[in-house]
Amino acid sequence: MKLNLLFDLGGVIMDIEKARCVAAFEALGLEDAASYFGEFSQQGPFMLLERGDISVDDFHAALRPHLPAGTPDSDIDRAFCRFLIGIPEHRLAALRELRKSHKVYLLSNTNPIMWNSTIRDEFTREGLTREDYFDGIVTSFEAKALKPDAAIFRYACDKLGISPADTLFVDDSQANLDAAAALGFGTALAASGTDIFTDGTLTGL
């Protein structure tokens, strides 16, 4: 196995469910809520937030005309975070175990609302912090690029000081894996409905 392990977050480390998020926004009154959420990427202001093109305040302002008057920002954030189910404890343990033999990194298409609330909180369940599980972290809103854009992989290499040739990238999107492979990364698919983590190893990788 390669020296560096570069993991996606949602669908690999953290369980997610788009339907929960869509239902939550429908309950808030957002018409055609499903149109904003693709299988592996978002649309409209959701995409702009993930790519770091707009601030959280701008995101709220962009959604407000499509919601009932007076909808609190906190309700918008809560509905958005329904996308996230959580991180099973055995995956947290596996990440700690993998760091004994590898450099472990995170590369995630995400947004500051989830990142600074639910995602942060899920990584504190063992009394540690999110940063305790990784040797380095790159988020799309920080990099101002989204997977599968090659720019986010180049940004990750520069920030983390890693070489594609020495790195295995694990993601649940084949398009993201193809983009990484074109740059020289080793790749592994975390297929939908599977759990690649078991006893501190990576099953089938």
| Cis-peptide into 148, omega within 30 deg | yes
Residues near 147 by Cβ (< 8 Å), separated by ≥ 6? 8, 107, 109, 140, 153, 171, 173, 176, 179
Give me 53's structure tokens.
């093109």
If you ran DSSP here, which 8-state letter would residue 41 be given?
Answer: -
Long-range contacts of 187-194 (CB under 8 A, 24+ apart): 190/8, 190/11, 190/12, 192/11
Q: Which helix (H) or strand (E) holds 106?
A: strand 103-108
- Greatest Cα pair distance, the chain, in angstroms, is 54
Of 109, 146, 80, the closest CA to residue 10 belongs to: 109
Active-site option among 8, 57, 132, 199: 8
- Judged by DSSP in three states, 97 sits in helix
In the annotation, is 8 catalytic? yes
Catalytic (active-site) positions: 8
